[in-house]
Amino acid sequence: MNKRGIVWFRADLRLHDNEAIYDAKSQVDELIYVYIFDERVFKGKTGFGFRKTDKYRARFIIESIQDLRNNLKEKGCRLIVRTGKPEEILFDICNESKASWIFCNRERTQEEIEVQDALEKNLWSIGREVRFSRGKMLYYTGDLPFPITQTPDTFTSFRKEVEKFVPIRKPLPTDDIELPDSTFKIEEGDIPNLTDFGFSEEEADFTPILLGGESAGLKEMNYYLWESDLVQTYKETRNGLLGRDYSSKFSAYLAQGCLSPKLIAHQIFKYEKERTKNESTYWLIFELMWRDFFRLMGKKYGNAIFQLGGIQQSSDVSDKEDMDLFSKWAAGETGVPFVDANMKEINATGFMSNRGRQNVASYLVNDLNLNWLLGAQYFESLLIDYDPCSNYGNWNYIAGVGNDPRSDRYFNIENQAKRYDPEGEFVDHWI
């Protein structure tokens, strides 16, 4: 009798460099591929009552699942799609299909851990197990020169200990990967649309700034590196505010696992050999290292990154919740043009530049003296590229409760606007 397994896709919506798939292929003869829209994520609310997943990211994920289904179909495989609670639905599929294991990438933040733990507990009752892989990071934690609990608390120290001594492993070879399907009879299920998650027809009718999915992510990577050579000027353009080309636009694809950070790194290494190597090509790797650093901080400090006192567990931080002031900030109606333009952009697109994010966060924390969690949860709701560790790590940083040795992260908004929008083009565009 053939051994059967289940691949549970989470924030690893790709076939390339996907360790869960590789592990599964080596252990079983048949595979059932599953994605579940967790109703708590797509229909739930944050602590302050914002949608946990607003329309921009929801649509990006829906498109990513459609692309994943198409890519699996090309391999002769089916993607089973459901909406509900993963720990219950996966248990039922596993039980009915007599699958030996569920293979998936491990997540490290509380809500995701609770789902993992509940699934494991359910599976133990029928003698089945979850087999975890990794896939979010540039580096393997086992390759690092320190245990996670001793990860340096500043990025500079982390970078110096890692980049010269730890190689970035090559992505798993996937060009001609053959994937087994399963003979188990099960309905594929429909991929939901935005109205299924409570959005009106009017809300669901918008043109996204990025198309979701592995195929689109690979095209963006190819464009940014090989077609346009924009990577050569990344360090100079990364603080831009308008247009497609001032940054790589990889972040949303990385957040949902449509692109592997290892693949991006090794494409950059190839680019450096074949075309040019400069500070800009290095700087894109540098930014990928920041993602790893924030994820390691999330592993090291756990829920502290989501709490008012942050990593420092500081008591010297504002808990002010003036919702009138906050609503003006959120709507882009503070009367400060640079802040308002950035907020109008995120409200209209689900995206904001890195420079914009730092400025609007600083304004909320330092000028309005509001509880930084209001801003962090608002970003969590809207951002197309939301990642728990990166989002809350950056907000910890701005709020002065993170791991930056400088406690005062105040941005002079007027000076920032003059420096990064000297002709006022960005403000004119959005206001």
Amino acid at 59: R
pLDDT confidence bin for 174, thresholds 50/70/90? confident
- Alpha-carbon distance of 106 to 101, in angstroms, equals 14
Neighbours of 293 (CB within 10 A): 26
The yes-or-no verdict on residue 1 having pLDDT over 60 is: no
The fraction of the chain above a pLDDT of 70, given in percent, is 98
Instruction: Please give the average per-residue pLDDT across 13-41, as a whole number.
Output: 96
Instruction: Please give the average per-residue pLDDT across 379-402, as a whole number.
Output: 96
Task: Report pLDDT for 178.
Answer: 87
pTM, two decimal places = 0.97
pLDDT confidence bin for 407, thresholds 50/70/90? low
Cα atoms in the 13 Å half-sphere on the side-chain side of 142: 3
pLDDT confidence bin for 2, thresholds 50/70/90? confident
Residues 353-365: tens digit of each pLDDT? 999 999 999 999 9
Strands (E), 150-197: none
The yes-or-no verdict on residue 408 having pLDDT over 90 is: no
Environment class of 319 (CB within 10 Å of its CB; exposed 0-12, middle 13-18, buried 19+): exposed
The yes-or-no verdict on residue 188 having pLDDT over 60 is: yes
Beginning with the edge strand found earlier in the chain, give each strand of the sheet holding 101-105 in spatial order.
79-84, 30-38, 4-9, 101-105, 129-133
pLDDT confidence bin for 219, thresholds 50/70/90? very high
**Tokens at 196, concatenated:** 């299924």
How far out from the chain centre does Cα 340 lie? 25
Environment class of 415 (CB within 10 Å of its CB; exposed 0-12, middle 13-18, buried 19+): exposed
Bridge partners of 36?
82
Helix axis angle, 372-382 to 323-331, nearest 10° = 40
* 15-18-19 Cα angle (round to 5): 150
Task: Report pLDDT for 175.
Answer: 66
Task: Report pLDDT for 225.
Answer: 97
The domains of the chain are located at 1-135, 153-169+215-304, 307-430
- Alpha-carbon distance of 69 to 192, in angstroms, equals 13
Neighbours of 315 (CB within 10 A): 8
Task: Report pLDDT for 364.
Answer: 98
Grouping H, G, I as helix, E, B as strand and the rest as coil, residue 54 is coil
pLDDT confidence bin for 185, thresholds 50/70/90? very high
Instruction: Please give the average per-residue pLDDT across 307-335, as a whole number.
Output: 96
The yes-or-no verdict on residue 405 having pLDDT over 70 is: no
Residues 93-115: tens digit of each pLDDT? 999 999 999 999 999 899 999 99
Task: Report pLDDT for 74.
Answer: 95
Class of the CATH domain delimited by 153-169+215-304: mainly alpha
The yes-or-no verdict on residue 242 having pLDDT over 70 is: yes
Q: What is the CATH code of the structural domain delimited by 1-135?
A: 3.40.50.620
Contacts of 20 (CB under 8 A, 6+ apart): 7, 8, 9, 12, 103, 104, 105, 133, 135
Task: Report pLDDT for 194.
Answer: 98
Size (the chain), residues: 431
Residues 245-276: tens digit of each pLDDT? 899 999 999 999 999 999 999 999 999 999 99
- The CATH T-level fold of domain 307-430 is DNA Cyclobutane Dipyrimidine Photolyase, subunit A; domain 3 (1.10.579)
The yes-or-no verdict on residue 220 having pLDDT over 70 is: yes
